[in-house]
């Protein structure tokens, strides 16, 4: 297989559609899983976060960051260590195309989870390796919307070409019948390591020595899950972010470090901020 055999993914026109990380994927993502090797070679790229800029932390993996990393690597072979719950499909599409066009060999290592937009990125590898307990997750483009029934009908029509483009990439990489690919996307499918190799989603399994899990979790990861839960309940993203901003300020003020959160701190949360957050989550 060569990069030239992979189709370019045309999904750059956002229009009315804004793509977000799926709450299901975020709930099953462990951000502490990473490559077990010590110092990474300078031709290794790590994608170990949500795809697209993250509002809470200001981080996330963007196509601009990947483009810069590839420029620094030049035309050498590149290894991409991947563990992501997905996120912005359009950023994922741009990253897929960047890796697809890279002159050297691209090896993708799925360390933990490659869900949604991250599964598209995984397909750009000349060689895809996956951990035995790791997963790919594929589904139709996931977004949030508001409006009347006519707005939703137009939105569904607008989203159909993006789903078709993703299905085309999956089919080209795996050789699986397109109708079956579409069926797997329709019902949101989780594909484990051994099954991924057997069915053509990956070329081989990673050894246990290639993956490590530092354990625990991060405050940012917890808040991302809260934001996803608020959005999936129907709350507009701007309102969810305002509520979480109030909660963040409460944590910062209680810890005595305005504007900064410390994972080691154990602040007392202001009752009002916590009550508002819990009431919003209960709907």
CA distance 16 to 34: 35
Number of domain units in the chain: 2
* pLDDT at site 147: 84
In 60-147, which residue ranges form alpha helices assigned H by DSSP?
63-73, 89-100, 117-122
Q: Is residue 177 part of a domain?
A: yes
pLDDT in tens, 30-85: 888 888 865 568 999 999 999 988 655 567 899 999 999 999 999 999 999 999 99
Statement: residue 262 has pLDDT above 60: no
More confident residue, 215 or 168: 168
Task: Clarify whether residues 110 and 26 are in a common domain.
Answer: yes
Using an 8 Å Cβ cutoff, are 118 and 79 in contact? no
pLDDT in tens, 90-126: 899 999 999 999 999 999 999 999 999 999 999 999 9
How is residue 179 written in tokens? 């109708």
Task: Clarify whether residues 62 and 143 are in a common domain.
Answer: yes
Q: Could you tell me the residue range of the domain that residue 155 belongs to?
A: 3-213
* pLDDT at site 234: 64
pLDDT in tens, 142-186: 877 778 899 889 888 888 988 999 999 999 999 999 999 999 999
Task: Clarify whether residues 169 and 272 are in a common domain.
Answer: no
Q: Is residue 201 part of a domain?
A: yes
CA distance 169 to 75: 24
Task: Clarify whether residues 198 and 249 are in a common domain.
Answer: no
Task: State which H helix or E strand residue 83 sits in.
Answer: strand 78-84
Q: Is residue 267 part of a domain?
A: yes
Q: What is the pTM of this model?
A: 0.75
Q: Is residue 224 part of a domain?
A: no
Q: Which range, 12-21, 125-134, 255-264, is most confident? A: 125-134
Task: Clarify whether residues 161 and 44 are in a common domain.
Answer: yes
Statement: residue 269 has pLDDT above 50: no
Among 63-67, 86-90, 213-217, 275-279, name the one with the lowest average pLDDT. 275-279
Long-range contacts of 189-193 (CB under 8 A, 24+ apart): 189/137, 189/138, 189/139, 190/135, 190/136, 190/137, 191/135, 191/136, 191/137, 191/138, 192/132, 192/133, 192/134, 192/135, 193/110, 193/130, 193/131, 193/132, 193/133, 193/134, 193/135
pLDDT in tens, 218-258: 555 555 656 666 656 666 666 766 776 666 666 555 545 44
Domain boundary among 162, 179, 213: 213
Q: Is residue 143 part of a domain?
A: yes
The vertex-113 CA angle with 109 and 117, nearest 5°, equals 95
Domain boundary among 213, 243, 259: 213
């Amino acid at each position: 297989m060569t990069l030239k055999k992979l189709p370019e993914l045309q999904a750059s026109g956002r229009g009315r559609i804004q793509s977000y990380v799926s709450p299901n994927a975020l709930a099953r993502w462990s951000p502490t899983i990473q490559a077990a090797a010590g110092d990474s070679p300078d031709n290794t790229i790590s994608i170990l976060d949500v795809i697209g800029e993250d509002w809470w932390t200001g981080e996330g993996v963007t196509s601009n960051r990947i483009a810069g990393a590839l420029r620094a690597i030049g035309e050498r072979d590149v290894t991409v260590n991947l563990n992501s719950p997905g996120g912005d499909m359009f950023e994922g599409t741009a990253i897929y195309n960047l890796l697809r066009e890279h002159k050297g060999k691209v090896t993708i290592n799925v360390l933990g989870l490659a869900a949604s937009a991250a599964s598209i990125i995984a397909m750009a590898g000349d060689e895809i390796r996956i951990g035995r307990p790791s997963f790919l997750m594929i589904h139709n483009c996931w977004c949030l919307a508001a409006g009347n029934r006519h707005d939703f009908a137009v939105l569904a029509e607008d989203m159909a070409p993006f789903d078709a483009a993703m299905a085309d990439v999956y089919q080209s990489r795996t050789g699986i019948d397109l109708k079956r690919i579409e069926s797997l996307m329709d019902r949101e499918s989780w594909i484990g390591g051994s099954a991924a190799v057997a069915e053509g989603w990956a070329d081989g399994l990673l050894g246990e020595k290639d993956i490590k899990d530092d354990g625990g979790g991060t405050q940012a990861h917890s808040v991302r899950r809260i934001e996803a839960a608020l959005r999936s309940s129907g709350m507009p993203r701007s309102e969810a972010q305002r509520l979480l901003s109030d909660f963040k300020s409460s944590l910062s003020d209680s810890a005595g470090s305005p504007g900064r959160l410390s994972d080691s701190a154990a602040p007392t949360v202001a009752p009002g901020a916590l009550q508002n957050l819990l009431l919003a989550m209960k709907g």
